[in-house]
């Protein structure tokens, strides 16, 4: 059953066509990776799928909810946006508390403590997000996306700025989510990580999907290497 | 570092400043600004024999130099505050001034070039057009070109002194905010000795003004030295390296959430706004930014009445109308606290955030505006029209908030620079304000009719505000929080 479905989605910004008739589908329990060169349309697609942007044409569902209900989509999913932008003047703990309050999370204190512990941020919990390092801010963004334990997660470069320890910890957590039957849609440039996690992948270039399939199928023609498969699809496009 | 590199950086900074202006004002607005100043000053100089009959030359000089000093302070402060404000509003903003962080350029050297750039840019952009306008109009007022040239020099030196003071406070603030605050208070104290306490002559502190007493070049020389010492001192005080301490803050959101808990979901967003307002140190500038124009209006009325000899019929109702109208500055501030980008990932709508901002706006403006109107009524012995004044203030406050929220949403600062938006705003708020003002002027002679007009217009404003508030949701539906990013 598809929890994410994109049908002929197009989007332009002025004269620039960011997406052109994109169609894809993600089943429940899948770890779906979307790759593409810079400016290919990954973030635009993710923003449309998460209710942040409206498509010019086409339709779709995210977490089983049609795109014309953006608030319901945002309620149902967890989002890690491209830029790590937690509120400047709130502390790490306050940011998570705010998200718990907005999302009406039960037992918020325990949840906040859990995620502060997960990212070993206890010592930083009272520091303003403005004064945190980029990696620490990214941890706050990740915690804010996971704290309500959504069934569907859409992540834009979630590993960016994380050190290897937390990259591994995050990888293991995401794998656990898939084992629990949750769905993850991820845009990334880090193909090594994607290779370890994704069950299905798609490549987007100049706003068009230029290749899609199960990870094994995509890598098979080039001898089991995602980077080579990616290069081949982009060059062929 | 060779001089030609300094020159290259200087040119690049000039270009940066110009592009920054264009991004806020648009190309046409940026080009027209000096022309507007020129025409305005030429007009004032031309008609000065008619409108300045009751105000003597020393007082005109004092006003001009005080304005030049304040402008210098403002320009100097913008270098420091402006970038903070832009970073807060637009996210990461990288200016040439930040180059020393990663490039082999000394920070003090960059600050010196930055100071020169500010001085040259704003002299070309505003001081020269101002003086050129005066030069064109002054001969018709019987003022010689030589006097205008002298005035140009003293205004220039005063402007530079203001900039120097501002840079010095900024330099001290980098090391210690407390020390900078003390310095700021000292400057305010010295200014208060000139006015309102009149304990010292203005020329004791504003040396260029002293030149007009004795026409002695020593005043010009000493004020040039003061301006140089202030600016060089500011540059030398700048640290080549500084860091932001990672301080731990006590929980503020929890108490704020409890404070606004009766408001449900709106209370959550309001609590966030409240914490941001407090933590960002914006509360004081918001209140000051609201009160300053009100004090200015009072001063203008005073100048017209006492200085020019044309008493304006301002009363508590007139001030009430104005105080409501000026609420737009508060809304502009509260929409400028944070970029809101984070909320893109949360299940909240722009409309909910606008509502939270509006509640914050009313919390801030209601107390201040009511206090101001009551003070004016008490000071002028106009308690009989206080209810009418409060009604005019409240209705304008509500109406202006509705219009500005509808027109600019969460991007007031940026969108008001759009000529279309600005003209719509002016078209919507100026006519009722002017009507209330004229009606208030009629109060002494046609009390009943004037009261009816003020009540009718106020009621109409309140009624019209309801559908405007309701339309805000539809106007901003589907707009991402990052709608305006550059």
At residue B60, the pLDDT reads 84
CA distance B287 to A232: 60
Q: By CA distance, what is A93's nearest residue in B?
A: B251
Each of the 237 residues of chain A gets a pLDDT tens digit; together they read: 799 999 999 999 888 899 999 999 999 999 999 999 998 999 999 999 998 888 999 999 999 999 999 889 999 999 998 887 888 889 999 999 999 998 999 999 999 999 999 999 999 999 989 889 999 999 999 999 999 999 999 999 999 999 999 999 999 999 999 999 999 999 998 898 999 999 999 999 999 999 999 998 888 888 878 888 888 888 887
Task: Give the pLDDT score at B81.
Answer: 57
Enumerate residue ranges in chain B where pLDDT < 70: 1, 23-26, 51-54, 78-94, 101-102, 241-246, 303-304, 306-310, 483-486
Give the 3-state secondary structure of residue A58: strand
Domains of chain A, each with CATH number or no CATH: 2-83+151-236 (3.40.50.300)
> How many CB atoms are located within 10 Å of the residue B220 CB?
19
CB B279 within 8 Å of CB B147: no
The predicted structure's pLDDT at residue B486 = 33
Instruction: Report the C-alpha gap between B428 and B352 in whole angstroms.
Output: 24
**Residues on chain A touching B268 (C-beta within 8 angstroms):** 98, 101-102
Task: Assess contact for A32 and A47: CB atoms under 8 A.
Answer: no
Decide if B251 and A89 are in contact by the 8 Å CB cutoff. no
pLDDT of residue B94: 61
Q: Do A12 and A56 meet the contact criterion of CB atoms below 8 Å apart? A: yes
Closest partner residue to B347 (CB to CB) among A47, A93, A103 is A103
* Minimum CA–CA partner of A94 in chain B: B253
User: For residue B244, what is the nearest residue in chain A, using CA coordinates?
Assistant: A131
pLDDT for residue B24: 64
For B344, which of A71, A81, A131 is closest by C-beta distance? A81
User: In the prediction, which pLDDT does B89 show?
Assistant: 47
Q: Are A40 and A206 in contact (CB under 8 A)?
A: yes
Paired residues of A152 in beta bridges: A77, A183
B253 vs A: CB within 8 A: yes
**CA count, 13 A, side-chain hemisphere, A3:** 21
Give the span between the Cα atoms of B365 and B323, in whole angstroms. 9
State the smallest CA–CA distance between residue B237 and chain A in angstroms: 24
């Amino acid at each position: 059953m598809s929890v994410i479905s994109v049908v002929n989605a197009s989007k332009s910004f002025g004269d620039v066509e960011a997406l052109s008739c994109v169609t894809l589908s993600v089943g429940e329990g899948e770890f779906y990776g979307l790759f593409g060169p810079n400016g290919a349309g990954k973030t635009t697609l993710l923003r449309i799928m998460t209710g942040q942007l409206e498509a010019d044409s086409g339709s779709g569902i995210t977490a089983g909810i049609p795109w014309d209900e953006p608030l319901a989509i945002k309620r149902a999913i967890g989002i890690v946006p491209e830029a790590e932008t937690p509120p400047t003047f709130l502390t790490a703990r306050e940011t998570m508390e705010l998200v718990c309050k907005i999302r009406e999370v039960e037992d918020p204190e325990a949840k906040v403590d859990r995620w502060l512990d997960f990212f070993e941020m206890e010592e930083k919990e009272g520091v303003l997000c403005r004064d945190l390092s980029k990696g620490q801010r990214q941890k706050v963004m990740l915690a804010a996306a996971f704290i309500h334990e959504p069934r569907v997660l859409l992540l834009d470069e979630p590993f960016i700025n994380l050190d290897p320890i937390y990259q591994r910890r995050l990888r293991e957590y995401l794998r656990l989510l898939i084992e629990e039957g949750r769905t993850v849609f991820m845009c990334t440039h880090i193909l090594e990580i994607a290779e370890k996690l994704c069950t299905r992948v798609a490549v987007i270039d100049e706003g068009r999907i230029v290749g899609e399939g199960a990870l094994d199928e995509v890598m098979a023609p080039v001898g089991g290497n995602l980077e080579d498969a990616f290069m081949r699809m982009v060059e062929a496009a | 570092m060779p001089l030609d590199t300094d020159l290259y950086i200087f040119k690049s900074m000039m270009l940066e400043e110009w592009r920054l202006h264009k991004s806020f004002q648009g190309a046409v607005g940026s080009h027209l600004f000096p022309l507007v100043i020129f025409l305005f000053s030429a007009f004032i100089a031309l008609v000065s024999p008619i409108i300045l009959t009751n105000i003597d030359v020393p007082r005109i000089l004092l006003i001009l130099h005080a304005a030049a000093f304040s402008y210098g302070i403002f320009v100097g402060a913008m270098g420091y505050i402006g970038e903070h404000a832009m970073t807060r509003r637009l996210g990461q903003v990288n200016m040439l001034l930040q180059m020393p962080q990663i490039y082999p350029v000394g920070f003090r050297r960059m600050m010196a070039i930055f100071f020169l750039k500010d001085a040259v840019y704003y002299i070309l952009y505003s001081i020269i057009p101002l003086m050129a306008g005066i030069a064109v109009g002054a001969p018709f007022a019987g003022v010689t070109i030589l006097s205008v040239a002298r005035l140009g020099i003293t205004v220039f030196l005063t402007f530079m002194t203001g900039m120097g003071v501002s840079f010095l406070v900024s330099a001290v603030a980098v090391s210690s905010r407390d020390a900078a605050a003390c310095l700021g208070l000292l400057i305010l104290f010295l200014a208060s000795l000139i006015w309102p306490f009149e304990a010292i002559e203005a020329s004791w502190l504003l040396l260029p003004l002293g030149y007009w007493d004795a026409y002695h070049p020593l005043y010009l020389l000493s004020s040039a030295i003061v301006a140089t010492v202030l600016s060089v001192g500011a540059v030398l005080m700048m640290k080549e390296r500084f860091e932001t301490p990672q301080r731990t803050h006590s929980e503020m959101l929890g108490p704020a959430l409890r404070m606004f808990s009766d408001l449900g979901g709106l209370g959550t967003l309001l609590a966030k706004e409240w914490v941001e307002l407090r933590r960002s140190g914006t509360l004081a500038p918001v209140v000051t930014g609201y009160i300053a124009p009100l004090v200015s209006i009072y001063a203008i009325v005073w100048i017209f009445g006492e200085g020019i000899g044309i008493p304006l019929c301002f009363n508590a109702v007139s001030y009430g109308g104005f105080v409501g109208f000026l609420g737009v500055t508060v809304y502009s501030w509260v929409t400028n606290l944070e970029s809101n980008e984070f909320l893109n990932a949360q299940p909240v709508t722009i409309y909910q955030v606008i509502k939270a901002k509006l509640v914050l706006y009313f919390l801030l403006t209601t107390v201040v505006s009511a206090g101001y109107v009551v003070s004016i009524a008490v000071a002028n012995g106009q308690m009989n029209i206080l209810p009418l004044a409060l009604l005019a203030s409240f209705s304008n406050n509500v109406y202006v908030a509705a219009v500005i929220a509808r027109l600019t949403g969460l991007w007031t600062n940026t969108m008001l620079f759009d000529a279309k938006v600005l003209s719509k705003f002016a078209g919507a708020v100026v006519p009722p304000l002017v009507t209330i003002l004229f009606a208030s002027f009629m109060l002494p002679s046609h009390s009943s009719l004037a009261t009816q007009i003020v009540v009718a217009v106020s009621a109409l404003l309140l009624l019209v505000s309801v559908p405007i508030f309701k339309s805000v949701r539809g106007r901003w539906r589907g707009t991402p929080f990052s709608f305006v990013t550059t």
